[in-house]
Homo-oligomer: A and B are copies of this chain.
Amino acid sequence: MGAPEALQGLKVLDFTRVYSGPYCTMLLADLGAEVIKIEAVGKGDDTRAFHPIKNGQSGYFSYLNRNKKSITLNLKSEAGKQIVMELARWADVVVENFSAGTIKKLGLGYKELAEVNPGLIYASISGFGQSGPYSKKAAYDAIAQAMGGITYLTGYPDGEPVKVGPAISDAATGVHTAVAILAALHYRERSGKGQYIDMAMMDTVFSMLENSVPILTMTGQNPSRIGNSNPGSAPYNMYHTADGGVFISTANDSLFTRLTTVMGQPELIQDPRFSSNPLRKQNEKEIDAIVERWTLQHTSKEVEVMLDEVGVPVASAKSVAELVEDPQLLMRDMVVEQEVPGVGTVKFPGDPLKLQDTPPIMARRAPELGEHTEEVLRSILHLGEEEIRRLKENQIV
């Protein structure tokens, strides 16, 4: 007997593909929801062909689709649509991230599904939302990042905008969608009512710009790129060391004094250029140069050990190879092993939702294409062998 699961009994019909939607339903599945993923017959989620591939299996897909069941379904066929309607009766939640309007055109939008199940919570994710001037605009992650403002704000003042390396607009929208779904579920418990949720990647990126919007609207200054520095504090930057670089962050006199004491220059806090955080920010180039003269005399590891000891925020930029061996991540079950058929056991990121009594589960590897088609048709739709055979023959499933 494992621990109980927070979302046990929650039924999710999952039309999502690629990253944003699958990240959302992964979080739900990790907490115990029963997620049935609908995939295109013979082809499946695009990410089944995404890098990295080994022995025909995609690590991209395997990571994001653990704990889910896969059924194949031809959504353009009448019989396929009929099966969706039956599954919509069964489901508590539907999630989809086709381009805006696509699933509605198939006759499988919120309106149609809510007719057979008025309690349904139906979440759509798209680049810009289901209506409005951009609703038809094509969106990839790099586009959503640029449109939402995070790209403009990332990079160096004298350089060009840089997108965030990983597809942050996808993951961010996925997790925000999970909040919306669980809040709608809470409302349904009280009201009996389902509802439609219309999430947009541009919105969620714009929602994560920290104080950038109030900076503009209260001061008139249009925020720009600041590299690895901080708009209000110094020394706060990346500093070169004998063998690389470290990030050091101080934002008050106490941290600055601890830093300069370790540096052997405790008198700096009395220097009129550096005696308060605003003054240090004003004379940032000077104080950054002084700090870097010190860091250059040590390895990154040495600087980290010395500053950790006195509680000054410090870190090097960890690569993935370091992270999969990181003692803190390992202790927190953030690196998990799962089977990939034909490949063996592979390490993937764990789940960050650390509920102590109902922890995320890693019980099931990602499904092969259509692995649960027959099981679902039998146990949820109560179809007989003959019907299942016919659906297969006609490539409905």
Contacts and interface: CB of A to CB of B under 8 A. Distances in A.
A152 interface: yes
Contact of A162 (B63, B147, B156, B346): B156
A35 interface: no
> Which of A189, A224, A324, A351 has the most chain B CB atoms closer than 10 A to its own CB?
A324
Contacts of A352: 176, 199-200, 203-204, 206-207
A187 to B, nearest CB: 4
Contact of A203 (B9, B137, B175, B332): B332
Contacts of A136: 311
A208 interface: yes
A160 interface: yes
A215 B59 contact: yes
Complex copy number for this chain: 2
Interface in A301-324: 308, 311-321, 323-324
Given A51-B211, A133-B328, A354-B199, A154 B146 contact: no
A351 to B, nearest CB: 7
A367 interface: no
> Which of A134, A182, A317, A332 has the most chain B CB atoms closer than 10 A to its own CB?
A317
Contacts of A213: 63, 320, 323-324, 335, 347-349
Contacts of A231: 51
A6 B334 contact: no
Contacts of A54: 218-219
A335 B95 CA distance: 26
A50 B155 contact: no
A236 B10 CA distance: 39
A186 interface: yes
A124 to B, nearest CB: 9
A217 B331 contact: no
Interface residues of A, number: 146
Interface stretch (A74-82, A165-173, A373-381): A165-173
B195 A357 contact: yes
Contact of A164 (B8, B131, B164, B347): B164
A107 interface: no
Contact of A6 (B175, B184, B315): B184
A269 interface: no
Contact of A323 (B128, B138, B206): B206
A198 interface: yes
A275 to B, nearest CB: 17
Contacts of A154: 154, 162-165
A397 interface: no
A186 B230 contact: no
Nearest to A139: B313
B203 A354 contact: yes
A321 B216 contact: yes
Nearest to A31: B183
A345 to B, nearest CB: 9
Contacts of A161: 228, 238, 245, 317
10 contacts: A10-B186, A27-B179, A52-B211, A60-B211, A138-B308, A140-B249, A143-B313, A154-B163, A154-B165, A155-B165
